[in-house]
Chains A and B, each alone.
Chain A
Amino acid sequence: MMTDASSTIFQDKIDQDIRIEPKDWMPDAYRKTLIRQISQHAHSEIVGMLPEANWITRAPSLRRKATLIAKVQDEAGHGLYLYSAAETLGISREEMIDQLHSGKAKYSSIFNYPTLTWADMGAIGWLVDGAAIMNQVPLCRASYGPYARAMVRICKEESFHQRQGFEILLTLSRGSEAQRRMCQDAIDRWWWPSVMMFGPNDDASPHTAQSMQWKIKRFTNDELRQRFVDICAEQVKLLGMTIPDDQLRWNEERQHYDFGPIDWEEFRNVINGNGPCNKERLAARVQAHEDGAWVREAALAHAEKKIQYGKTA
């Protein structure tokens, strides 16, 4: 009976847009959904550092180098906020990281694609951070307080990343023939994976209805995807480049862009571990963790010694 009353209070709060806080009662399924979503998001930030870190040492100017380091560092910060938000739900960062390393937890598939040229730093900022913003801005109003607050900080930085990325592409688009080729090639490779970042079509997305009722989600995958396509289809004109979709055209009736079919076969393959960089990305994370084990042990041992020294002093 207690649970029934609690669950009524819970759903009332949700309906009235009152935030749920860590100490509040919440249904198990709500907690689990949040842990899954927030930790997956945190892992995406951390794994997402790798494709861009790949170009830090080759950035073409000192200004670009500094901005890229700062960007990758921001992503690490996002990971930290999100791990902390997830910890308020009763899971530790170690557990979450173990789940990532064992393959039990997922991260955004977009980071399983390789960064082959400098232009990829632009395309990732414009498209990948752009799609992330589209997904994340509504999360600033998510019903779970710590998650929503983390997202507010993150979104501010993501929009900065997006502008920087676009500016990298804009510079390339006004540059030499090789640079314009680089620019188009990066858009060609990143476009469809970015469109897939919104997840499966609504009719194939089993969790959407519940997540919307809990106000963890505010818009469906297809709604967000459409918004993303509409914006990018306009922005690409400023670059004088094209989007690799011959079915992309303005639909006067719908007041939206129509676009071609998504290759869900590829989407599933990458999710299931068969993307071009799945193994490398995960191996890089595991390696960093394993190489760091002696460092973490030593830090712990030293901290304990200091307590001992304090006692005997």
Chain B
Amino acid sequence: MTVQHTIDYTLHLADNALVLGHRNSEWTGHGPILEQDIALSNIALDLIGQARYLYQYAARLMTMQGGPEVTEDVLAYLRDSWDYRNCLLVEQANGDWGKTVLRQFFFSAYQYFFYRELQHSRDAELSAIAEKALKEVTYHLRWSSEWVIRLGDGTEESHARMEKALDQLWMYTGELFQPAGFEQALAPGGIAVDLGEIKPLWELRVGEVLKEATLTTPGSMMQQGGKQGKHTEHLGYLLAEMQFLQRAYPGNEW
């Protein structure tokens, strides 16, 4: 276990939060109901807020390592996709409102059990971030569960759309619980969350909500690679857009 593992781990968590926050913010101004436009923008803000704390922490660790001065923005805006460590789930395109809320639900259910454990991390900084984030995620989970149920058990059309979304997203859920090298290295030190422990909790919760939503999970093969920097085609476009100004005008203050 080295500081580098903690840095990779923290970046992985930050990338997850930023990429999903960014995706959600694509909805701002275009939501199906004004109140829900506000709600999803709120979730975007929470996730970007979490990402910032995590990047700031990673930047401090990196600077302590004796590397060049790093900031949250250097980490978010100047790394290419092969350095991004987010799970494939969060980078998937928004699709319709159903796909967006289902993606949020899968991720919030994961983040909920994840942060609950990370609160007890022996890394004081990660534990403090987790404690704060858990309050936000508790709401995200409730909000997204309600939407999955509402749309799954709504009209014929909404049900069909949710089945389609499930078919598109389910294959990216397995990766959430596949430990990467840096997680395995951190496991004995009590810093990282034991993914094997939270997996059954996630399965139980997801199973309950999908059942109430009258949806059934497809048996698709699981995809992975995000944690190792091998992404789907979507991330490149997301980063190209997000990083445009920093790349076009290097070294400027904004």
- Chain A residues within CB distance 8 Å of chain B: 46, 49-50, 52-53, 56-66, 69-70, 72-73, 76-77, 79-80, 83, 118, 171-172, 174-176, 178-179, 284, 287-289, 291-299, 301-302, 305
A111 to chain B, nearest CB (A): 11
Question: Chain B contacts of A292 at CB under 8 A?
Answer: 31-33, 97
13 A-B contact pairs sorted by A residue (CB < 8 Å): A52-B29, A61-B73, A64-B254, A65-B25, A66-B45, A83-B34, A172-B254, A175-B254, A179-B249, A295-B32, A295-B33, A297-B158, A298-B151
Question: Chain B contacts of A62 at CB under 8 A?
Answer: 18, 48, 51-52, 55, 72-73, 76
- Top 9 A-B residue pairs of the complex, sorted by shortest distance between their CB atoms: A292-B32, A298-B154, A298-B158, A53-B29, A60-B254, A49-B29, A60-B245, A295-B32, A73-B41
A112 to chain B, nearest CB (A): 15
Q: Do A301 and B155 have beta carbons less than 8 Å apart? A: yes
Q: Do A66 and B254 have beta carbons less than 8 Å apart? A: no
Distance, CA A176 to CA B245, complexed state (A) = 13
Question: Chain A contacts of B32 at CB under 8 A?
Answer: 288-289, 291-293, 295-296
B199 to chain A, nearest CB (A): 29
B149 close to A (CB within 8 Å):
yes
- Given A56-B25, A60-B254, A79-B34, A294–B157 Cβ distance below 8 Å? yes
Closest residue on chain B to residue A299 by CB atoms: B150
Question: Chain A contacts of B154 at CB under 8 A?
Answer: 297-299, 301-302
Given contact pairs A62-B73, A69-B45, a sample of 15 additional A-B residue pairs in the complex whose CB atoms are under 8 Å apart: A49-B29, A62-B76, A65-B48, A66-B49, A70-B45, A76-B37, A80-B34, A288-B30, A288-B32, A291-B97, A296-B33, A297-B158, A298-B154, A298-B158, A302-B151
Q: Do A291 and B155 have beta carbons less than 8 Å apart? A: no
Q: Do A73 and B38 have beta carbons less than 8 Å apart? A: yes
B28 close to A (CB within 8 Å):
yes
Question: Chain B contacts of A63 at CB under 8 A?
Answer: 52
A304 to chain B, nearest CB (A): 10
B123 close to A (CB within 8 Å):
no
B44 to chain A, nearest CB (A): 6
Question: Would you give the 0/1 interface string for B136-169, flagging 1 where the beta carbon is closer than 8 Å to chain A?
Answer: 0000000000000111011101100100000000
Chain A CB within 10 A, most for which of B48, B154, B246: B154
Question: Chain A contacts of B96 at CB under 8 A?
Answer: 291
Question: Chain B contacts of A293 at CB under 8 A?
Answer: 32
Count CB-based A-B contacts (< 8 Å).
143
Q: Do B48 and A77 have beta carbons less than 8 Å apart? A: no
B213 to chain A, nearest CB (A): 10
A295 to chain B, nearest CB (A): 4
Q: Do A69 and B48 have beta carbons less than 8 Å apart? A: yes
Q: Do B31 and A288 have beta carbons less than 8 Å apart? A: yes
Question: Would you give the 0/1 interface string for B81-119, flagging 1 where the beta carbon is closer than 8 Å to chain A?
Answer: 000000000000000111000000000000000000000
A141 to chain B, nearest CB (A): 27
- Given A298-B157, A299-B150, A301-B154, A171–B254 Cβ distance below 8 Å? yes
Distance, CA A175 to CA B26, complexed state (A) = 28
Question: Chain B contacts of A58 at CB under 8 A?
Answer: 241-242, 244-245
- Given A56-B25, A288-B32, A296-B32, A76–B38 Cβ distance below 8 Å? yes
Question: Chain A contacts of B28 at CB under 8 A?
Answer: 49, 53, 56, 69, 72-73
Question: Chain B contacts of A64 at CB under 8 A?
Answer: 254
Q: Do B76 and A76 have beta carbons less than 8 Å apart? A: no
Distance, CA A298 to CA B36, complexed state (A) = 14
Distance, CA A76 to CA B28, complexed state (A) = 9
B22 close to A (CB within 8 Å):
yes
Distance, CA A175 to CA B253, complexed state (A) = 7
Q: Do B34 and A76 have beta carbons less than 8 Å apart? A: yes
Q: Do A61 and B254 have beta carbons less than 8 Å apart? A: yes
B42 close to A (CB within 8 Å):
yes
Distance, CA A196 to CA B24, complexed state (A) = 34
Distance, CA A287 to CA B41, complexed state (A) = 19
Q: Do A298 and B246 have beta carbons less than 8 Å apart? A: no
Q: Do A60 and B26 have beta carbons less than 8 Å apart? A: no
Q: Do A118 and B35 have beta carbons less than 8 Å apart? A: no
